[in-house]
């Protein structure tokens, strides 16, 4: 049986982007793409509807990018974030500094609104020192913030 053409309503991994007309096997379209709402039969009305949806998504993407660039400016103007913590003789912290702690400090000091998902921290900070932490604010916008972890004087 020959392939059929479907219009993608969403981005489908390894198949295509929203608004593309792709050729797929009839069973794949009938059993997965169409029932899940990922694709539709490419009629004139459907093509127009998807173009409008695509334009709205593009506009939303650009607005989010602009907001991320504004956050980046605020972070660049802020400078280093200093955290005073209780630590042992060798500089080991009593506890650890996690992505949650970083989010709370950045949001309160810099006046921005980032989430834990945006903090790219491989593991919790467990020692006194300087750390450069990457924040992924948007697909096209990233920021580096510097955290200085100092021992609290008693």
The pLDDT tens digits of the residues spanning 102-115 come to: 999 999 988 898 99
Burial (CB count <10 Å: 0-12, 13-18, 19+), residue 136: middle
pLDDT of amino acid 87 = 87
Write out the residue range of the structural domain in which residue 31 sits: 4-64
| The domain boundary residue, chosen from 49, 64, 79 | 64
Domain match, 53 and 77 both = no
Contact at 8 Å (CB) between 117 and 140? no
Domain match, 21 and 71 both = no
Domain match, 71 and 142 both = yes
* CATH number of the domain encompassing residue 116: 3.10.430.100
pLDDT of amino acid 77 = 87
Domain match, 78 and 147 both = yes
The helix (H) or strand (E) run that includes residue 65 is helix 44-78
Domain match, 74 and 88 both = yes
| The domain boundary residue, chosen from 64, 82, 114 | 64
- Quote the number of domains for the chain: 2
DSSP state of 109: H
* CATH number of the domain encompassing residue 15: 3.40.5.10
The pLDDT tens digits of the residues spanning 58-90 come to: 999 999 999 999 999 988 888 888 888 888 888
Domain match, 78 and 39 both = no
Domain match, 83 and 147 both = yes
Domain match, 95 and 126 both = yes
Domain match, 71 and 147 both = yes
Domain match, 121 and 105 both = yes
């Amino acid at each position: 049986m020959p392939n059929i053409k479907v219009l993608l309503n969403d981005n489908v991994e390894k198949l295509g982007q929203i608004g593309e007309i792709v050729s797929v096997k009839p069973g794949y379209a009938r059993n997965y793409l169409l029932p899940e709402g990922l694709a539709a039969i490419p009629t004139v009305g459907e093509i127009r509807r998807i173009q409008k949806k695509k334009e709205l998504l593009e506009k939303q993407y650009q607005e989010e990018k602009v907001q991320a660039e504004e956050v980046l400016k605020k972070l660049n103007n802020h400078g280093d974030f200093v955290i005073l913590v209780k630590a042992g003789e060798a500089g080991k912290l009593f506890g650890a500094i996690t992505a949650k702690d970083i989010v709370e400090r950045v949001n309160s000091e810099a006046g921005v609104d980032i989430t834990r998902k945006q903090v790219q921290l491989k593991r919790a900070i467990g020692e006194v020192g300087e750390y450069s932490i990457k924040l992924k604010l948007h697909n096209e916008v990233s920021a580096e913030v510097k955290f200085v972890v100092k021992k609290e004087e008693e």
